[in-house]
Amino acid sequence: MSELHFPTSIPVGISECLMGVQVRHDGSHKHSKYCTQTLTGWFEFVPVCPEMGIGMGSPREAIHLQGSMAHDAIRAIGNRTATLDVTDKLIAYGIEKGTELTQLCGYILMGRSPSCGMERIKLYHENGMPLGKTSAGLYAREFMRQQPLLPIEEEGRMQDARLRENFVARVFAYKRWRDLLENGLTLAKLQEFHAQHKYLLLSHHQPAYRYMGQVVAHAHQRPIADVAEEYGRIFMETLKRVATNQNHTNVLQHLMGYVKHELNATSKQELAQLIDQYRQGQVPLIAPLTLLRHHLKNHPNAYIEKQVYLQPHPSELMLRNFI
């Protein structure tokens, strides 16, 4: 099997402090070498700092999210100055950027930030005591509302190998979906796209794949724009579910079925054993995949060679070496 070609300038939003720019409230940064030295080979980052964007400057007074048990209204208030309220500005900026940056295929946010945090940002009472509730950062919340399908992840969560692999795979998948729409979606193209993503989708959620198959099967009965809206939404929601070892194992066993009749007893046993070792967590996913790809190279199958599952992202990123 030949290596797939991947685009090298996919537009991805990023919290500006992760690029090493000193825009944090204390005048520091949170430089992510993984982003600037590894992902930059394929991603063209679009840096945004919402607090700088609304004119707060750096250094500046830190803010926190304030709420109450009585209602869901959340305010972004200064840590020292109670009259410093940038709620409306952050909300407006999130809406503005979410509407403006429609070219993005992903977004990496700075976690634990009252403006950029994707989730689990603590809320506080007016007296400064924890409320026992959490929220997304106000800028991030509004941006995500504008672009609900966009793959978004926090830099800190990407230290987890499975979440890192999942996010990067979703960025490339979203790019493929966007390209399909921009080049003019037809029923034939949708059928081909669905077929190519069969095993990738099965590795994430089998019921969703079956439902999407029904959407494609009945697509001729509906306007293609309506089909695209439903299919694209379920496609991205399905890929957001982190694939499990069990689902990966099921997919590997299915793929083995395409070559097992071409293999001798020793080779079949070797591949089956490696898949089982992966199931038990003894080897990473790359181990059975590499052997499977080796057999597919020696015994080509046109249908399987088109499966995105075999290489959903550049092999140089080594994302499947650790899951």
Q: 225-241 pLDDT, tens per residue?
A: 999 999 999 999 999 99
C-alpha to C-alpha distance for 120 and 114, rounded to whole angstroms? 10
Average pLDDT, the chain: 96
Same domain, 171 and 302: yes
Same domain, 186 and 202: yes
C-alpha to C-alpha distance for 287 and 277, rounded to whole angstroms? 9
Question: Cβ distance 232 to 185 under 8 Å?
Answer: no
Same domain, 153 and 244: no
Instruction: Band the pLDDT of 5: cuts 50, 70, 90.
Output: confident
How many of the other CB atoms lie within 10 Å of CB of 59?
A: 13
Same domain, 61 and 170: no
Same domain, 154 and 164: no
Six-digit token string for 9: 């300038």
The pLDDT of 256-272, averaged and rounded, is 96
Four-residue CA torsion sign, 303, 323, 112, 22: negative
Give the per-residue pLDDT at 4. 67
Question: Cβ distance 20 to 14 under 8 Å?
Answer: no
Question: Cα-atom radius of gyration of the chain, to the nearest Å?
Answer: 22
Residues 6+ apart with CB under 8 A from 157: 111, 118, 163
The pLDDT of 76-102, averaged and rounded, is 97
Rounded (10°) angle between helices 161-182 and 187-196? 160
Question: Cβ distance 204 to 243 under 8 Å?
Answer: yes
Same domain, 137 and 168: no
- Domain-embedded: residue 4: no
The pLDDT of 246-271, averaged and rounded, is 96
Q: 195-230 pLDDT, tens per residue?
A: 999 999 999 999 999 999 999 999 999 999 999 999
Burial pattern 207-226, b for ≥16 Cβ within 10 A else e, equals ebbeebeebbeebeeeebee
Mode of pairing for the β-strands spanning 63-66 and 75-78: antiparallel
C-alpha to C-alpha distance for 161 and 136, rounded to whole angstroms? 23
Q: Which domain holds residue 287?
A: 160-323
Question: Cβ distance 246 to 279 under 8 Å?
Answer: yes
Same domain, 174 and 305: yes
pTM of the model: 0.96
C-alpha to C-alpha distance for 299 and 260, rounded to whole angstroms? 10
Same domain, 33 and 154: yes
Q: Give the number of C-alpha atoms closer than 13 A to the C-alpha of residue 258, restricted to the C-beta side.
A: 20
pLDDT at 91 over 80: yes
- Domain-embedded: residue 5: no
Quick one: what percent of the chain has pLDDT higher than 70? 98
pLDDT at 65 over 60: yes
* Beta bridge mates, 44: 11
Same domain, 179 and 85: no
- Domain-embedded: residue 270: yes
Q: Is 147 helix (H, G, I), strand (E, B) or coil?
A: coil
Give the per-residue pLDDT at 71. 72
pLDDT at 55 over 80: yes
Residues 6+ apart with CB under 8 A from 193: 176, 177, 180
The pLDDT of 73-83, averaged and rounded, is 95
